Chain A
Amino acid sequence: DQQVKQNSPSLSVQEGRISILNCDYTNSMFDYFLWYKKYPAEGPTFLISISSIKDKNEDGRFTVFLNKSAKHLSLHIVPSQPGDSAVYFCAASGENGSGNTGKLIFGQGTTLQVKP
């Protein structure tokens, strides 16, 4: 049972345009969401996060939107740059009364290619 899903395995955009990466979740107990970027042969790097009490969080070129009613979040990258080409993972966390262990559930990842 995949609680966090990224239904698009890949995305290709032109440099300077907007990249939109999507993520859906099923567990209504999730209350914190994160995006990670991963280059080949490296560990994932934390990018941006959002709490369930917000619907938007922005950090430079990166904005995450959360739609709790639809159980959907998206990452917008504007403008996209060739260096943004990587695999992007969304992740979710939330406890059901067992304490704040910080465990993360990851999506399958989306490979973003930004063409010059």
Chain B
Amino acid sequence: DAGITQSPRHKVTETGTPVTLRCHQTENHRYMYWYRQDPGHGLRLIHYSYGVKDTDKGEVSDGYSVSRSKTEDFLLTLESATSSQTSVYFCAIRGQGGTYEQYFGPGTRLTVT
């Protein structure tokens, strides 16, 4: 258990509204990641962070922004939600010591109607 929580766990929202998902970790990990999981695509990286206020884009970053104002929290914002952003969102942290292993939170199921 890497001490990762995500909130909310489920959300239904309307097209055009902003949505913020939160990832919280308790073990002072430097690297944090946001993925989305869709059928036929596996998990795709949206954005990642390599430190407080240090973030970069992943492969599917359009329509998403992130912020990391403190080590333990990594926020994912959908500026104006669209139906194509209906998905399951997972946050992950990278293990310590330069390892490539990542450990995932329980996920947030987002439905955009």
Which residues does A use to contact B, with CB under 8 Å?
Answer: 4, 6, 32, 34, 36, 41-46, 49, 89, 91, 93, 100-109
Contact = CB atoms under 8 A, between A and B. Distances in A.
19 contacts: A4-B42, A6-B42, A34-B101, A41-B106, A43-B92, A43-B104, A44-B90, A44-B104, A46-B102, A89-B42, A89-B43, A102-B94, A102-B102, A104-B45, A104-B102, A106-B43, A107-B42, A108-B41, A108-B42
A104 B100 CA distance: 8
Interface string B52-71: 00001011000000000000
Contacts of A41: 106-107
Interface residues of B, number: 27
Contacts of A43: 4, 90, 92, 104-107
A100 B98 CA distance: 8
A93 B100 contact: yes
Nearest to A43: B104
Interface in B48-97: 48, 50, 56, 58-59, 90, 92, 94
Given A34-B101, A46-B101, A46-B103, A102 B40 contact: no
A107 B101 CA distance: 16
B44 interface: yes
A18 to B, nearest CB: 24
Interface in B15-58: 31, 33, 35, 40-45, 48, 50, 56, 58
Which residue, of B44, B90, B101, has the highest number of chain A Cβ atoms within 10 A?
Answer: B101
Contacts of A42: 106-107
Contacts of A46: 101-103
B40 A108 contact: yes
A103 B58 CA distance: 8
A103 B40 contact: no
B6 to A, nearest CB: 8
Contact of B101 (A6, A49, A101, A108): A49
Contacts of B48: 101, 103
A109 B44 CA distance: 12
